[in-house]
Amino acid sequence: MINSRFFLVVVFLTTLFFRFDSNVFAFELPEWTKKVGARTKPSNEFKINVADFGAVGDGKTLNTKQIQAAIDACAKKGGGRVEFPKGEYIVGALFLKSNVDLHMGKGVTLRAVNNVDEFPDMFTRVAGIEMDWPTAIINVIGQRNVAITGEGTIDGDGKYLWDRYWEMRRDYEKRGLRWIVDYDCKRVRSVVVKDCEDVTIDGLTFLRAGFWTIQILYSTHCTASNLTILNNIGGLGPSTDGVNVDSSSYVLIEGCDVDCNDDNICLKAGRDADGLRVNRPTEYVLIRNCIARRGAGLMTCGSETSGDIRHIICIDSKAIGTSQALRIKSAMTRGGTVEHIYMHNVTADSTRHFLNCDMNWNPSYSYSLLPDEYKGKELPSHWQTMLIQVPPEQGLPKFKNIFLSNIKGTNIQTFINCIGAKESIIDGVTLNNINAEAQRAGTVRFTRNFTANNVQLKTADNSQITLDLVP
């Protein structure tokens, strides 16, 4: 192991423009990638039409009961496909059943009613803690072999929820409550899959989610494919993540095009004490042929890392105007390990960073501190959950084994920001076959086992990556 910081920089610079045979770094998908995604889909031999249950696609009539009746009738027959005549259907919370495909063809829109009372609270996990939260537009809870398909649209019509959030946030920040406002301002997700197996979401367009668009929670063998997610229509939708995989495994995300105002595709595994209590990882996730546009990250791991995030691959994808291509974030009270993270054959254009690793992300949000005026008062249960202290030795997150290969980047502000902590060193970052243009090179600090091969990085300020490594 070379210990000299100066010598490490020299070694890196001498390899910077040296070309290696690209076959040396050929990337092969591991065996587990053959097992990702839904293994079964509902049969479409039996079909049922929501119009036969009184649903009206006039853009005015509330159709929750009628569509739910069609879903229930289809499930009672053993499953099949629920179909819609063309039109716009106003709905509250719908609940899918095993063996049912909710199929919205071209010209069909489900639009969420602008009334959060039509989405009654249920016990779930949101932003890393378990609590009561509004149901989604479409809920798949404890089911098997389910699909949501078609070329239609699911419109969250969430601007009234965005406006409510921004108003609450301004007030909460004045009172030192930035850490809890996202939990107090209850907003409607578009699709929630919880405690399920073999769920497929395919082909649809999602608009204006009130909160997260798709959350795959405590589930396995799920597919999100060929989706278009547009959450910046008519304003900036706060926390309108595209696809969130939350303490779930064997998930396939492919062919998705995501434009949002937070993480485009995100891997999560619980927050702080509650996440450590649940202790369920997100693992074995394959992301391929996706495009991230506006948003916080083509692929983001965290900041909810408590239950571990591991064996994640993103290949053959693009970040266009996205904040980061690969983002790994946590906090010093979160714990958990993020490891075996791979990004291969990915291009980035007009991003803030290509790789950004941060163990102390967004402190005003990440750390719960109760203002004096609330001490001694009765607090909501989710406040109490957020205020549970994590012992320091359990709170340290760990990042290790991060691999980037066959990467191309243009118009990047800072290519790399990879900074661990004295208490938690990032262990193992490998850059292979990189060709990028950036304003600045960036920094690698509190990191060991950093390897760079065939890295061609052109910077506007002529900087090179600053390496401050540890043995």
Give the tens place of pLDDT for each residue, 337-358.
999 999 999 999 999 999 999 9
Q: Is 471 helix (H, G, I), strand (E, B) or coil?
A: coil
Give pLDDT tens digits for 242-270: 999 999 999 999 999 999 999 999 999 99
Q: 317 pLDDT band (50/70/90 cuts)? A: very high
- Residues 6 or more apart whose CB falls under 8 angstroms from that of 148 comprise 96, 101, 102, 104, 138, 140, 191, 200, 201, 202, 204
Predicted pLDDT at 8: 35
- Res 236: pLDDT: 86
User: Is residue 15 scored above 50 in pLDDT?
Assistant: no
Average pLDDT of 446-452? 96
Q: In the 8-state DSSP scheme, what is residue 24? A: G
Residue 311 vs residues 285, 324, 358: alpha-carbon distances, Å: 7, 20, 19
pLDDT the model gives residue 25: 53
pLDDT at 1 > cutoff 70: no
User: For residue 17, is pLDDT > 90?
Assistant: no
> What digits encode the pLDDT tens for the residues 152-209?
999 999 999 999 999 999 999 999 999 999 999 999 999 999 999 999 999 999 999 9
**Confidence band, pLDDT 50/70/90 cuts, at residue 26:** low
Q: Which of 409, 405, 419 is nearest to 453 (CA)?
A: 405
- Percentage of the chain lying above the pLDDT 70 cut: 94
Lowest mean pLDDT among 9-18, 46-55, 397-406, 430-439: 9-18
pLDDT of the residue at 148: 98
Q: What value does the mean pLDDT take over residues 86-106?
A: 98
- The pLDDT confidence band at residue 276, using thresholds 50, 70 and 90, is very high
For tokens 């072999």, the residue is 145
In percent, the amount of the chain with pLDDT more than 90 equals 93
Q: What's the pLDDT at 61?
A: 98
- For each of the domains in the chain, give its residue range(s) and CATH number, in order of start: 5-40+130-148+165-469 (2.160.20.10)
